[in-house]
């Protein structure tokens, strides 16, 4: 079964648009956790960025308390975030790059050039019983480097596929690139997740990519929830994901 991790960052983004300097406000990320899980989400993803632009420290601790499924904590590979993760004890972390100027995460980790730092972080988190994944582009060199860090999972960055979706030739090429990357990762003993830019139009075609365990989807679900409610938005996405071939 293909699992859905619902990223609730943009619930906090909407709150921060009006309540940035206050200790309370709406919508509440914890309410989003409860609604997403009640609708069938298999996990919750939240990214505590260094600039605290959406999820805040108080949020992540309240989210940890509220999550009944599993928490996937997205984080930069910094001493501060490693310390927080070791105290927070999420079920999983996904190490991601951060650029203060970006609106959202724009690309995958450069594991090739940061292998030692990432390996140290993966070891510390793994020893604490936290599952580690690296958010990377579907690039053979990055996948090979990931296998050397001791991280058991990758999360394939699907942004290029999402951006190419309306042009058939480019869409097909990106799906092939993702499929080859998933196959390479599987051959190296890595588990495979995917996410970024997936929505109600392009998610079904991701079935062309083998070996997937989990999709992490946020912006599209939160956007859909504005008009139909979060629970229904989650149920609709789960319906689109139903039928992914069993892992083999």
> CATH number for the domain including 24?
3.20.20.70
Any domain includes 71: yes
Tell me whether residue 182 is in a domain: yes
Q: Which residue has the tokens 């990432």?
A: 118
Residue 106 has pLDDT above 70, yes or no: no
Please check whether residue 23 lies inside any domain of the structure: yes
Residue 120: its pLDDT value, please? 97
Q: Report phi then psi at 156, rounded to 5.
A: -70, 130
What digits encode the pLDDT tens for the residues 110-144? Answer: 999 999 999 999 999 999 999 999 999 999 999 99
Question: Is 86 among the domain residues?
Answer: yes
Whether 157 maps to a domain, the answer reads yes
Instruction: Give the burial class of 37: count Cβ atoms within 10 A of its Cβ; 0-12 exposed, 13-18 middle, 19 or more buried.
Output: buried
66 part of a folded domain: yes
Mean pLDDT of 234-246: 94
Tell me if residue 74 is catalytic.
yes
pLDDT at 96: 97
Which domain range does residue 186 map to? 3-241
pLDDT at 197: 97
**Which of 47, 54, 157, 211 is the catalytic position?**
47
Average pLDDT for the chain: 95
Query: Is residue 47 among the annotated active site residues?
Result: yes
Catalytic residue among 37, 54, 74, 174: 74
| Domain-embedded: residue 248 | no
Res 247 pLDDT > 90? no
- pLDDT recorded at residue 104: 54
> How many distinct structural domains can be found in the chain?
1
Q: Assess if residue 246 is contained within a domain.
A: no
Contact by Cβ (8 Å): 180, 141: no
For CA atoms 197, 202, 207, 209, the dihedral sign is negative
Residues in contact with 53: Cβ distance below 8 Å, sequence separation at least 6, in sequence order = 13, 16
Catalytic choice (42, 54, 196, 211)? 196
């Amino acid at each position: 079964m293909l699992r859905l991790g619902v990223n609730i960052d943009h619930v906090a983004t909407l709150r921060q648009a009006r309540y940035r300097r206050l200790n309370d406000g709406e919508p509440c990320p914890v309410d989003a956790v409860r609604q997403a899980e009640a609708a069938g989400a298999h996990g919750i993803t939240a990214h505590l960025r260094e600039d605290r632009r959406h999820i805040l420290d108080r949020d992540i601790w309240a989210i940890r308390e509220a999550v009944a499924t599993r928490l996937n904590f997205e984080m930069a590979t910094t001493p501060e975030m490693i310390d927080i993760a070791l105290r927070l004890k999420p079920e999983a972390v996904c190490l991601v790059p951060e650029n203060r100027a970006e609106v959202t995460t724009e690309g995958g980790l450069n594991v090739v050039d940061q292998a030692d730092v990432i390996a140290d972080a993966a070891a510390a988190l793994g020893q604490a019983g936290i599952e580690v994944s690296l958010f990377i582009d579907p690039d053979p060199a990055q996948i090979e480097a990931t296998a050397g860090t001791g991280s058991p999972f990758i999360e394939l960055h699907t942004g290029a596929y999402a951006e190419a979706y309306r042009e058939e030739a480019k869409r097909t090429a990106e799906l092939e690139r993702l499929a080859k990357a998933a196959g390479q990762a599987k051959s190296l003993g890595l588990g495979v997740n995917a996410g970024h830019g997936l929505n109600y139009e392009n998610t079904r075609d991701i079935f062309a990519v083998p070996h997937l365990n989990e999709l992490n989807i946020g912006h599209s679900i939160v956007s859909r929830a504005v008009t139909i409610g979060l629970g229904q938005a989650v149920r609709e996405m789960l319906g689109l994901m139903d039928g992914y071939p069993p892992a083999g």
